């Protein structure tokens, strides 16, 4: 199964962190937010992801 993850926002409420990297790459517990989201989905059998990037998307790729 596939999931689409929208990860294109600027993350203005996390401005201290998002100046240098996009919101999905901000770390929580040593891992990026995006990693945590994908791990939760994988627990439900979703193992293919389409990530729609925008702001600083080149960092996610």
pLDDT digits (tens, 9 = 90+) for 11-38: 888 888 888 889 999 999 999 999 999 9
Is the pLDDT score of 52 beyond 90?
A: yes
Q: What integer best gives the mean pLDDT of the chain?
A: 92
- Residue 31 dihedral angles phi and psi, to the nearest 5°: -125, 150
- Total domains in the fold of the chain: 1
Q: pLDDT at position 36, please?
A: 98
Residue 21 is classified by DSSP as S
**Cα radius of gyration rounded to whole Å, the chain:** 12
Is the pLDDT score of 9 beyond 90?
A: no
Q: pLDDT at position 48, please?
A: 97
Range of the domain at 13: 2-60
How far is residue 34 CA from its own chain's centroid?
Answer: 3
Nearest to 11 by CA among 49, 59, 43: 59
In this prediction the pTM is 0.84
């Amino acid at each position: 199964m596939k999931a689409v993850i929208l990860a294109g926002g600027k993350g203005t409420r996390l401005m201290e962190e998002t100046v240098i990297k996009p919101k999905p790459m901000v770390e929580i517990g040593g891992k990026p937010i995006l990693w945590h989201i994908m791990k939760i989905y994988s627990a439900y059998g979703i193992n293919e992801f389409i990530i729609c990037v925008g702001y600083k998307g080149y960092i996610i790729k």
